[in-house]
Amino acid sequence: MTIVLTPVWSNGIQKLRVTSAPPNKPAHGYLPPAFDENIHAQRCLAQLRSKDKDIEKYIYLSQLKDADQSMFYRLCLANMSEFTPLIYTPTVGDACLQFSHIFRRPEGLFISIKDKGNIGKILRSWPRLREARISVVTDGSRILGLGDLGVNGMPISIGKLSLYVAGAGIRPESTVPICLDLGTDTQRYLDDPLYLGLRQKRVPMKVMDDFMDEFMREMAAAFPKLLIQFEDFSTDKAFAYLDRFRHRYPLFNDDIQGTGAVVLSGFMNAAKLSSAASGRPLTDHRILFLGAGSAGVGVGMQLMSFFKLQGLSEEEARSRIYLVDSQGLIYDTRGPMAEHKKFFSRKDYNGPPLTDLTEIIKLIRPTALLGLSTTKGAFNQSVIQTMAALNPRPIIFPLSNPVRLSECEFHEAVEWSNGTVLFASGSPFPEEEYRGRMLWPGQGNNMYIFPGLGLGAILARASAVTDSMVEASSIGLANALTPAEHDLELLYPRVERIREISADIALAVIRAAQKAGVDRAKDLRKMSDAEVLAFVRERMWNP
């Protein structure tokens, strides 16, 4: 490995820091005489496109990233709309399900309950301690809509960090994928001879609490400049550990906060189009959620910001949101319920249980229907036709991942709403031609939010990720549509512009961190917005 002495400033004094340099290109004679980087890029794309299954494409890209990292990201940036579904949703779901069978080499840290008392030593063994700036941490207990996958959840951490690099220019050597192994309650993995995780049931919450306290303490000690993203913890753990650690360490939970932010952004744009069609004010919107897990409640909390931005009080904002779970409409007199569901439990309904979604819609008369239930086909013809009868432009967001768990598909929503639907989903769907007009589905993919949010928090050296920073990222995304994208009634900008979008979001996040007083990069306060934006762009890594 080549060693480079890099000048750095610390407390006004210039020092030299030892850093590793990128690997040298092969010496003369180690490549064929006619080898050309641009032609090789075409060769790699041709090899990728020769695969007929997405999981095979995922495996190929994983191998390419290992063999030629710069080429992987160069191709990714040039082909974002093609690569994103392969390195993250929906293909990453299949990669997780098959992880123990397609595993080739480690690409991150695995820390198990057996390592308790020794976590710090494992973390300090990471070869790029000084460079580390962002870590995605999962315990595999609720991967996408696929359930408890144990250590098979590692591709989630790897895929998210690839998008931080591609989407926000965070340096690859700054990323730390981590999977925590506290057992799994999925029996088929315990019975699978190829399963790579501990062969035991998940530990009790109290044992996990002690483990997480040690893990977070040692993370802060080993990586003092690290931002941590929690990913795909089960609902109870997601809320518990976000609350437990968010004011002590720089961290956020993408399922609760990132999903909420990206949905808020799409909803802002959809609500304007819907209100323009109905003539009703933005304050009149009502939102019905199917699904009341960590993502559903987290998104609901974030969407309260929409109503508060229109001048409503906290209580008025909360009253505009309704939740439905597997037992029907959630309301106070229904009976005992999980703690996280109580926030949106209705106090204005005391009748018999309501379990039929169409009947609930007729009663509530929502303008927007959002799905985070992982129930395929839950938004059936009756449901969507009822929404279309109540609203000139119904807002339908089936957000469950992957595609096979989506509440409905775009072509169904278009057909059953007679082409009036304002649609965004968690996974990608193709555009549809309807009565001579091309309609474009939105994809409420968190990758619009977390790269820019993470970059802004890192550059501001934020000591915490505040709600105002998350809200700023959402508003920044909502305002990112170009005039041409507005004309097409897109709810989200083209993903090909992700670097531009992430830079704008990072600027908004930095300013929000400054306003909240959690920034430690004080020099940025003296810069104009144009200067900060230039500062952000200069620090984006390019392959």
| Structure-block tokens of residue 317 | 């904002």
Taking every pair of Cα atoms in the chain, the longest distance, rounded to a whole number of angstroms, is: 80
Compute the 3-state secondary structure of the chain and give helix, strand, coil in percent, each to the nearest 5.
50, 15, 35
Active-site pick, 57, 65, 160, 237: 160
* Contact call for residues 393 and 273 (beta carbons, < 8 A): yes
Smallest Cα–Cα separation from 323: which of 298, 305, 306, 350?
298
* Contact call for residues 348 and 380 (beta carbons, < 8 A): no
Strands 109-112, 134-138: parallel, antiparallel or unpaired by DSSP? Answer: unpaired
Report how far residue 400's alpha carbon sits from residue 146's, in angstroms, rounded to the nearest whole number.
Answer: 10
Full 3-state SS string of 460-471: CCCCCCCHHHHH
DSSP string, 180-243: EE-----HHHHT-TT--S-SSPPPPHHHHHHHHHHHHHHHHHH-TT-EEEE-S--HHHHHHHHH
In terms of C-beta density within 10 A (0-12 exposed, 13-18 middle, 19 or more buried), how is residue 512 classed? buried
Strands 395-398, 227-230: parallel, antiparallel or unpaired by DSSP? Answer: unpaired
| Structure-block tokens of residue 96 | 């997780």
Give yes or no: 331 in active site.
Answer: no
Active-site pick, 73, 88, 164, 492: 88
Give yes or no: 88 in active site.
Answer: yes
Q: What amino acid positions are annotated as catalytic residues?
A: 88, 160
